[in-house]
Structure 1
Amino acid sequence: MTRVVLLGASPGPDTSPTGLRLAALPGNPTVAERLRSQLTSLDPRLATIESGDVAAALRALADVAESATENLFIIPENSVVHDELIYQITKAKRGALALVAKEPRPEVTEEEEQDDNGPEDHVPIDEAEPEIGPNRLEGLPVRSRVGKSRVVSVGTAHHAVTRPNAILLGPLHVSARNAPILAETCRELAAMASSFGEDDDLVQLIVFGLVRKGVSVGIRGRRDLFYRRVTTQEEVNEAGAEMAGMDEDRARLNNAVKGADGFFTTYFVSTYSRFIARWAARRGLTPNQVTLISITLGVAAAACFATGDRPWMVLGGLLIYFAFVFDCVDGQVARYARKFGVLGAWLDATFDRFKEYVVFAGLAIGWVVSGNGDDIWILALAAIGLQSVRHLLDFSFGVANRRKPPSPLPTLPLDAPDDRQLRQALTRRKVERSQGLRGLLKMWTKAGKFRTVHWARKMIVFPIGERFAAIAITAALFDARITFITLVIWGSVAAAYTLTGRLMRSLV
């Protein structure tokens, strides 16, 4: 469950367009009516906060945060947004997440590139002076500095920020563990409300406080989904027409595919499995039913391998490939149709191993049936044992890593006039984290920006897609001995690589 907080009219000249209607959408709803209908599935008892009085609004939000036992989703009432974007933000696992839009970078002329005293942006960020940004974007003051993954600093009309480059669009998700910090921050901000300007947005002020309290506020853009705040009927008409012209279902389908899959899964399965998932979801198939299809195909592949005959081995290779395809489809159906359950997660994890091991048994039986001797069982047991140990290590490290507290970020008093001290503290933190084992890990992480290195790192860990591909190809083209030797050698390299990396991460 998520606690939803609707923010009314923001301070300044803008007013909440509760009576403006989205004529381009079915039913001609008002902006407020549509947003409320979108949010009632998350929280039927929406909390609404009028934000005309900043101090009162902040105190009201503090009261909501203090009593909340679930995650909080804060959004302005004058928002026109896709359902899928709300879903993606509220399902984020970050401690806090804000929707942002970056200011377009100004084009630099050839003369400016050659001029040592050119644009201010040529000054290194560490040497730039904090400023109160005069620019506006989509009606909001550009007073936030964002990096690659989080909000670095936020300013106000009286609090300077180093080289602002973005706006906070409105939606803000805060996890339950950060709710007490949110409540405390809002009360402190309310006490200093006279320090803010008339055009300071309420969401901007909240994030301003959270960042200075050391909360890591992650960022995401709109990507292929729509969000806009509206204040006039003309803006509402433009927003409705633009949103209606965007394919929200395609974005939802793309989001059903994991973004961190391996090379084989990304290029040889997910390119089309998502369309199978949509077809299955629209016909009422559940993720568990798709899982059963995958299991059936895996058992059928094992039976083909058990014959030891070349035509059946080729067929087994095809069946194990499609068993993996449907193994991907079941998760994509769950994410696309939003049908999640403990049973489904357990079935998926358990029978992934079952399919692998029953195929190992089928390959070994086929080798023996073909008259090649029973020493193949040594390789089969080695492959099973190695994979079992790897899964045990993966599970135990994941549990231990979840217990590890996040690395704290620097803090800054709310009344500090600029973020200079915060930037200096972040620079010191960056230097400290670039030394020793941590520096080595960071350098290896940065190397991932090169696609060759990125995919090499994905493949070396021998994920399930690569394992099933190795089984299908080697069994169809060669024999069971080659399959097991491939699994043992590649699996051993993967085990050594992952174990080394996890030991290093455990020591930093």
Structure 2
Amino acid sequence: MGENRPDTVAVVLAATHAALVDRLSEQMESLPIADLCFVSDEQGLAEQLRRVAKVARGAAAPVAVLTGDLVAHTEALAVLLEHPSRSTGALIGPGEAIPPRTPVRVEHGRVAAAGNSFHQVDAPNATFRGVLQVGTDHLKGFALVAEELADLAQGGKLGAATTDQTADLLLAGLVRSGVPVRAARFGRLHCDRVPAGGATAALLRLTEVDEDQVRLDAAVKQDDGLFTTYLVSSWSRHLIKLADRLGLTPNAVTGISVGLAGIAAIWFSAGDRQAQLVGAAALYLSFVLDCVDGQLARYTRRFSPLGAWLDATFDRVKEYVVYVGLALGYAAGAPMTGTGPDQIWVLAVGAMMLQAIRHMIDFSYAGAVTDAAKVGVSWARPHRSLAVAVDAARSTDAAAVQRENAIVQLAGRLEGDRASRWLKKVIVLPIGERMALIAVTAALFNARVTFLALLGWGTVAALYTLTGRIARSLS
């Protein structure tokens, strides 16, 4: 996963809560903040917005805007400010929009509408908690939004909006300008804006939660495959703590995982039953550490593009090295005729090719969706005027619903049932299930059975995935 400390520029909208601003400044020291700016409210809303615009125009890194009346766990702030994507987002929580909280409407993990004393939101389902981050790709647009809001404020066209709503106005402006704003949730942690006199009670609530435990729980993915969830993630958190105490980096854990896969391949190449059992155990431990490297990266927040690339690349390398070891072990002692006994090398190469095709299907579709989203943002979402007070919820287009074909509708219904949801996760043969399939069949049977199982299940998984991708594209 690697190590990287991105240099965010943080803007604190200073308020009358001097003690809270000081506390917030101390919290920034443990977060990846390169520069901390304080924007006073003494000169009014318009000038405060222009100051934010100036910071955005001069920044070469993500810009975070935080309200000065904020009481939050540092871990809650890190959910947004240390997210590896460094994308535009806002901290969103549940509950009623009681001032100084403001209402938002969240759809599909993004903020679809944001309110304040001037901009009203239809059908709100969450609240904004005073922390906004703007990714580098959106800084220019963010500066334009802030300047437009400043002009409206100066002209008295934002109603009774005051300096304590600067962040709320900026969020509404970003959403209305068509910028995708990720709704970052902080779970059991606390993050809230507090009214005058409410700071003491809010600070006491922070002590109700063990931040480190929440951080450890969040490091373990909750939506992994069946095998990973129950036979790896159920105990791998102990290895996370151990690796952290030993000072291991995520990349170091990746290296150990690769070494164990190599050991598994060597044992598999011996070909006898005892060696197959040892190889299966080494492969399982290799996969466990393959999960731990990502979990450790999330726990310690040591992310880098290099680390992510190494992790993905070595997943394939480890798997294919094991294939070679299995084939060598099966062919041990037999004349090398080019294909080996029972054409084991043909089966091994076939399994490799099928796996490569499956990854191509996944990654090419993901790339196409990303490209389509970029095009959509550029022309398909018109600017919604900041001078219009009501941000109405868009009614569902019945024709669009009808365009969802039967396959997509069936997939949506199956997602609501726990058993069918797990079945969908298993049928695509994710890496956890593949490693389990290899380890079990190699330990109990032989490499020929392993490759036949991989080819059979892998073919079903490829057809299932391809059908689903085509159906979603057509809908």
User: What TM-score comes out, normalization by structure 2 length?
Assistant: 0.86
Contact kept, 8 Å, 2:101 with 2:129, in 1: the verdict is: no
Asked if 1:97 corresponds to 2:92, the answer is: no
2:113 maps to which of 133, 148, 153: 153
Q: CA deviation at 1:94?
A: 8.1
SS in 2 for 1:191: helix
1:191 maps to which of 143, 151, 173: 151
SS in 1 for 2:221: coil
Aligned to 2:191: 227
SS in 1 for 2:38: strand
Q: Distance in 2 between matches of 1:146 and 1:297?
A: 44
Contact kept, 8 Å, 2:407 with 2:471, in 1: the verdict is: no
| Number of equivalent positions | 453
- Cα deviation, 1:413-454, whole Å, max 9, x if unaligned, reads 22224234xx3xx326x4454343578546634642322232
Q: Distance in 1 between matches of 2:413 and 2:140?
A: 34
Contact kept, 8 Å, 1:462 with 1:494, in 2: the verdict is: yes
RMSD: 2.8
Q: How does 1:70-109 map to 2 (within 5 A)?
A: 70-90=61-81, 91=83, 93=85, 96-103=88-95
What is the one-letter code of the residue matched to 2:53?
A
Describe the shift of the 1:419–1:83 C-alpha distance in structure 2 as closer, same or farther (beyond 3 A).
closer
Q: How does 1:450-461 map to 2 (within 5 A)?
A: 450-461=417-428
Q: CA deviation at 1:183?
A: 1.9
Q: Distance in 2 between matches of 1:70 and 1:37?
A: 21
Q: Distance in 1 between matches of 2:182 and 2:470?
A: 27
Describe the shift of the 1:36–1:332 C-alpha distance in structure 2 as closer, same or farther (beyond 3 A).
same
Aligned to 1:6: 12
Q: Distance in 2 between matches of 1:438 and 1:97?
A: 32
Structure 1: gaps (5+ residues): 10-14, 21-30, 105-135
2:343 maps to which of 375, 387, 391: 375
Q: How does 1:357-436 map to 2 (within 5 A)?
A: 357-369=320-332, 373-406=341-374, 407=376, 408-409=380-381, 411-420=383-392, 423=393, 426-427=394-395, 430-431=397-398, 433-436=400-403
Describe the shift of the 1:476–1:161 C-alpha distance in structure 2 as closer, same or farther (beyond 3 A).
same
Q: How does 1:210-359 map to 2 (within 5 A)?
A: 210-230=174-194, 235-359=198-322
Q: Distance in 1 between matches of 2:216 and 2:326?
A: 36
Contact kept, 8 Å, 1:308 with 1:370, in 2: the verdict is: no
User: What TM-score comes out, normalization by structure 1 length?
Assistant: 0.80
What is the one-letter code of the residue matched to 1:220?
A
SS in 2 for 1:340: coil
SS in 2 for 1:271: coil
What is the one-letter code of the residue matched to 1:57?
Q
Q: Distance in 2 between matches of 1:201 and 1:391?
A: 46
Aligned to 1:490: 457
Q: CA deviation at 1:170?
A: 0.2
SS in 1 for 2:286: helix
SS in 1 for 2:271: coil
SS in 1 for 2:296: helix
1:43 maps to which of 15, 20, 33: 33
Q: CA deviation at 1:2?
A: 1.7
Contact kept, 8 Å, 1:434 with 1:442, in 2: the verdict is: no
What is the one-letter code of the residue matched to 1:43?
I
Percent identity over paired residues: 40
